[in-house]
Amino acid sequence: MQVFNVFFKVLKKRYVSALIYIIVFLAISVAISKNYTPAQEFKESSLDVAIMDEDNTAASKALSDYIGKKHEIKSIDNDREELTEMLYWETVDYVLIIRQGYSDALTSGKTEGLFEEYRVHDSFSSVYMRNNLNEYVKTAQAFIASGKSIDEALTSASEVLLTDTEVAYRTEEAAGTEGFTKDFAGFFQYMPYILISVMLSSLGAVLKSVNSKKIRYRTDCSCLSPRKATVQIFAASSIFVVAVWLILMAAGVYINNGFYSGNAWYAVLNSLIFTLIAAAIAIFISTFDLEENVTAVLTQIVGLGMSFICGIFVPQSFLGSGVLSAARFLPAYWYIKANDMLAGREAFDGSKLAVYMLIELAFAVVLFILTLVVRRSKSVNETA
Amino acid sequence: MFLHNLKYEIKAGLRVREMIVWLLIFPMGLGFFFKIAFDGIYESNDTFNSVPTAVVFTEENENLRTVLDGIEASDEPLMKLTYTDSEKAEDMLKNEEVEGVIYVDSKKLTLAVAGEGMYETILKAFCDQYNSTAAIVAETVKNDPTAVPAVIEQMSREINTVEDVKLVNGNTNYYTEYFYNLIAMVGLFGSLIGLSITIDNQANLSALGARKNCSPTPKSISVAASLVSRFITQSVCMVICVTFLRFVLQIDLGEHLLLVYLAAILSGMVGVSLGFMVGSIGRGSKDTKQSITTAVVMASCFCSGLMVGNMKAIIGAKIPFFNSINPASVISDSFHSLTVYDSYDRFIVKIITMAAMVFIFGFIGFIFTRRRKYASL
């Protein structure tokens, strides 16, 4: 058991970065999941709107109240830099300035220059709010034209504009994604990056040490047969890989507020297959005997690169067809395809799902074969 | 003495090619991945485009046809319409070819959607507006039929009540932030080079360190020469990184390219001095210190938005102070300030913060490195 024990002794020195990845990932997953409520019916997007009321009249307050019934009103100082940052990062969706003289202009039928909006992006929020404001003014002025006083007109405009259209919500979540909400799918979506990072920074580093020329030669000339040493390394690696996967799955139970059920089991299987892929990548890279700091850089290229072009950090639906065509040659693409299907973003089809997972397995097999080929060629070179 | 040491430190540094090559391949590889992932994504997803919509007339409605024709004819149409039957429209909705289906009868509109985003909200707002207009006219007919023409005239006007004030003239494509964060990460990965200063100077960590500790050169001069040589090496890497992003991948880094280079070089120095500081604290092994440095860099980059683009804004809303001291946030913010704002005020603050970080990290590194004696080598 010496080699087996050595594996974990070396691992003890390498676990810090792996632990940080897991802790940060789990902390974020828990924070997100605890704020989630599943949608049963259509709900309009509610915007974060900042209003600066320069008019400060009953009419301008009525408008603020109307907006507040549909959206979240944020109170913010008129600091241009702060507003720019908020609009840039979309922590505020719309900044409205009700100009002085709004009330008089509304009564006299004027429509131009009633409001100002601060803009950074040409966003949907701007188009939506502009339409909404135009409609509010038109409706209020129509009520004034029908003979109502300004107060009555504003009350009626608010009432009539808050009347909701009948909306049918065609969601497949209930039927297609039993036991696996879109939010829970997010937990599995980010997992490949974590698995690659953890495996490369810990398993890869340990295997590099254990398989380094100096250690291997010492082991080879000991009374322990090379085959037994390999079996012990394999056993220790397997225990580590399964342990990492089990920790993530156990956290999944907590995040899901209950044990896995329905489609969530497919996601569990999908994650197990990707854990094997991540381990295979780590084992493959460890055969090249790279410097520790080079491995750190390479981990980020592989982990982040795959995450960005396969749809882990940016949804696949956002990515162009050219990117997705290239991503097909990477395992994370198929993992995300399967995860998206389970989350109901694609119609559920068992045979398609099996194909996705088999493709992932094929990547793992190819990586293991490549590792054997590289090892064999290296040992031939060393012997020569 | 210092220049002599510096010369040989640079020479020795250049011979450790593996790390330098990877520090160059790193931004090129990831920058390439970012480029292909984010090319055109801002224009197609974050700026306004007409909403693909199916329209099903269950009964004829001349008024609505006129309104829809008007929308289609406008310069920036709100919707991209497809007139079809119910079955085809539902198929289109299921296959995500349209964002919603508007069902029209003679009196009102109803809507079918499959999501809850801004597209669907805009479609609902359109239906709400049409239905409310119909309700107003109906109410006026009931209360005062003589006012109907005036009400219809008011409701059918095309008006624009909002004047638009654009706050910035610079690059507002926030996917460029990923590239700023990439430069920040490359800069901070300079910490792996910085870490080697302590490893090469600590007798318990390397044979080279043991030899250096026996030499008569004062430690302060030897360490300062190592630090400056790493600054130079990392600066060259940063210049190549920015040049590659700007001229090969054609990333919009704004008009003040020289200042971008300055910020990038400073970011590399922040990285090197961070590594120097982490390396000099404690008696951990080389591997432990490398693991800690990588973890610190990745945590810093995560908080700055390398993996989740708006993380900096989320953190800024809860703990604003953290963004002012997180190295990756400060670095990426310096590029952000240059490309988004016309004034240099914000940029200058970030540059001063980076310079202060270089000084503080370097100072702490020196404090912990000095007077380290060995009973036996």
Cβ separation B131–A128 shorter than 8 A = no
Q: CA-based angle B52:A119:B342, to the nearest 5?
A: 130
Q: Which domain holds residue B321?
A: 2-41+174-369
Query: Average pLDDT, stretch B17-30?
Result: 78
| DSSP type of residue B373 | -
Among candidate residues B99, B107, B111, the one with its CA nearest the CA of residue B60: B107
Where would I find the H helices in chain B? 2-15, 17-38, 41-45, 62-73, 86-94, 118-143, 148-155, 176-188, 190-201, 207-214, 219-243, 257-280, 286-304, 311-318, 320-325, 327-340, 345-369
Using the predicted structure, report yes or no on whether residue B258 has a pLDDT greater than 90: yes
pLDDT, tens digit (0-9, with 9 covering 90-100), for B73-85: 877 788 888 999 9
Same structural domain, B182 and B216? yes
Using the predicted structure, report yes or no on whether residue B260 has a pLDDT greater than 80: yes
Q: Is residue B149 part of a domain?
A: yes
Burial of residue A175 (number of CB atoms within 10 Å: 0-12, 13-18, 19+): exposed
Using a CB-CB cut-off of 8 Å, the residues of chain B touching A112 are 159-161
Same structural domain, B88 and B200? no
Same structural domain, B102 and B242? no
Top-ranked range on mean pLDDT: pick from A205-209, A276-280, A348-352: A276-280
Using a CB-CB cut-off of 8 Å, the residues of chain B touching A193 are 307
DSSP string, B171-192: ---TTHHHHHHHHHHHHHTHHH
Distance of residue A377 Cα from the nearest chain B Cα, in angstroms: 22
Q: How many CB pairs under 8 A join A and B?
A: 284
Picking from A42, A117, A160, the nearest residue to B120 by CB comes out as A42
Cβ separation B110–A319 shorter than 8 A = no
Helix (H) or strand (E) holding B166: strand B162-166
Using the predicted structure, report yes or no on whether residue B293 has a pLDDT greater than 90: no
Q: Is residue B330 part of a domain?
A: yes
CA B349 to CA A141: how far, in whole Å? 49
Using the predicted structure, report yes or no on whether residue B129 has a pLDDT greater than 80: yes
Distance of residue B211 Cα from the nearest chain A Cα, in angstroms: 22
Using a CB-CB cut-off of 8 Å, the residues of chain B touching A119 are 164-167
- Position with higher pLDDT, B242 vs B170: B242
Query: Average pLDDT, stretch A208-214?
Result: 80
Distance of CA B132 to CAs A62, A153, B125, Å? 18, 14, 10
Distance of residue B370 Cα from the nearest chain A Cα, in angstroms: 25
Domains of chain A: 2-37+174-383 (no CATH), 48-161 (3.40.1710.10)
Using a CB-CB cut-off of 8 Å, the residues of chain B touching A300 are 26, 30, 185, 298
CA A149 to CA A138: how far, in whole Å? 15
Query: Average pLDDT, stretch B151-176?
Result: 85
Distance of residue B41 Cα from the nearest chain A Cα, in angstroms: 7
- With a threshold of 0.80, does the pTM exceed it? yes
- Side chain identity at B182, as an amino acid letter? L
- Position with higher pLDDT, A104 vs B143: A104
Cβ separation A124–B307 shorter than 8 A = no
| DSSP type of residue B100 | E
Same structural domain, B144 and B222? no
pLDDT for A383: 60
Q: Is residue B163 part of a domain?
A: no
Using the predicted structure, report yes or no on whether residue A175 has a pLDDT greater than 60: no
Using a CB-CB cut-off of 8 Å, the residues of chain A touching B307 are 193, 304, 307, 313
CA B227 to CA A262: how far, in whole Å? 58
Using the predicted structure, report yes or no on whether residue A174 has a pLDDT greater than 50: no
Query: Residues for chain A: how many in total?
Result: 384
Say what percent of chain B tops pLDDT 70. 96
Q: Is residue B236 part of a domain?
A: yes
Q: Is residue B148 part of a domain?
A: yes
Same structural domain, B135 and B248? no
Work out the number of other CB atoms within 10 angstroms of the CB of residue A86: 23
Average pLDDT, chain B: 86
A167-169/B51-57 β-pairing: unpaired
Residues 6+ apart with CB under 8 A from B51: B78, B79, B80, B99, B100, B119, B122, B123
Same structural domain, B86 and B201? no
pLDDT for A268: 92
**Chain A: residue whose CA lies nearest to B317:** A91
Domain boundary among B94, B125, B155: B155
Query: Average pLDDT, stretch B314-329?
Result: 90
CA B45 to CA B92: how far, in whole Å? 20
pLDDT band of residue B279 (cuts 50, 70, 90) is: confident
pLDDT band of residue A43 (cuts 50, 70, 90) is: low
- State the residue for tokens 């060995």: B374
CATH number at residue B69: 3.40.190
Distance of residue B358 Cα from the nearest chain A Cα, in angstroms: 21
Cβ separation A115–B144 shorter than 8 A = no
pLDDT for B356: 97
pLDDT, tens digit (0-9, with 9 covering 90-100), for A308-325: 889 888 888 778 777 888
ipTM of this predicted structure: 0.80
pLDDT for A384: 56
Work out the number of other CB atoms within 10 angstroms of the CB of residue A138: 22
Among candidate residues B122, B156, B108, the one with its CA nearest the CA of residue B53: B122
pLDDT, tens digit (0-9, with 9 covering 90-100), for A256-310: 878 888 888 999 999 999 999 999 999 898 888 787 778 878 888 888 888 888 9
Cβ separation B168–A84 shorter than 8 A = yes
Same structural domain, B10 and B70? no
Top-ranked range on mean pLDDT: pick from A215-219, B262-266, B318-322: B262-266
Structural tokens at position A148: 């109502």
pLDDT for A258: 80
Domain boundary among B120, B155, B190: B155
CA B346 to CA B334: how far, in whole Å? 8
Using a CB-CB cut-off of 8 Å, the residues of chain A touching B143 are 146
Same structural domain, B35 and B75? no
> What's the 3-state SS for chain A?
CHHHHHHHHHHHHHHHHHHHHHHHHHHHHHHHHCCCCCCCCCCCCCCEEEEEECCCCHHHHHHHHHHHHHCEEECCCCCHHHHHHHHHCCCCCEEEEECCCHHHHHHCCCCCCCEEEEECCCCHHHHHHHHHHHHHHHHHHHHHHCCCCHHHHHHHHHHHHCCCCCEEECCCHHHHCCCCCHHHHHHHHCHHHHHHHHHHHHHHHHHHHHCCHHHHHHHHCCCCCHHHHHHHHHHHHHHHHHHHHHHHHHHHHHHCCCCCCCCHHHHHHHHHHHHHHHHHHHHHHHCCCCCHHHHHHHHHHHHHHHHHHHCCCCCHHHCCHHHHHHHCCCHHHHHHHHHHHHCCCCCCCHHHHHHHHHHHHHHHHHHHHHHHHHHHHHHHHHHC
Same structural domain, B232 and B364? yes
pLDDT band of residue A38 (cuts 50, 70, 90) is: very low
Work out the number of other CB atoms within 10 angstroms of the CB of residue B66: 11
Q: Is residue B261 part of a domain?
A: yes
Using the predicted structure, report yes or no on whether residue A36 has a pLDDT greater than 90: no
Say what percent of chain B tops pLDDT 90. 30
Using a CB-CB cut-off of 8 Å, the residues of chain A touching B131 are 163, 165
Helix (H) or strand (E) holding B57: strand B51-57
Average pLDDT, chain A: 84
Cβ separation A164–B128 shorter than 8 A = yes
Q: CA-based angle A31:A36:A42, to the nearest 5?
A: 155
Using a CB-CB cut-off of 8 Å, the residues of chain B touching A39 are 116
Structural tokens at position B328: 């990756």
Using the predicted structure, report yes or no on whether residue B115 has a pLDDT greater than 80: no
Using the predicted structure, report yes or no on whether residue B45 has a pLDDT greater than 70: no
pLDDT band of residue B332 (cuts 50, 70, 90) is: very high
Contact status, residue A283 vs residue A236, Cβ threshold 8 Å: no
Q: By mean pLDDT, which of A298-312, B148-162, B185-199, B209-223 is the weakest?
A: B209-223
Query: Average pLDDT, stretch A28-52?
Result: 68
Same structural domain, B280 and B350? yes
Structural domains counted in chain B? 2
Same structural domain, B307 and B265? yes
Same structural domain, B139 and B230? no
Distance of residue A9 Cα from the nearest chain B Cα, in angstroms: 13
Contact status, residue B278 vs residue B195, Cβ threshold 8 Å: yes
Using a CB-CB cut-off of 8 Å, the residues of chain A touching B112 are 167-170
Residue of B15, B26, B33 best to disrupt the A interface, most CBs of A under 10 A:
B33
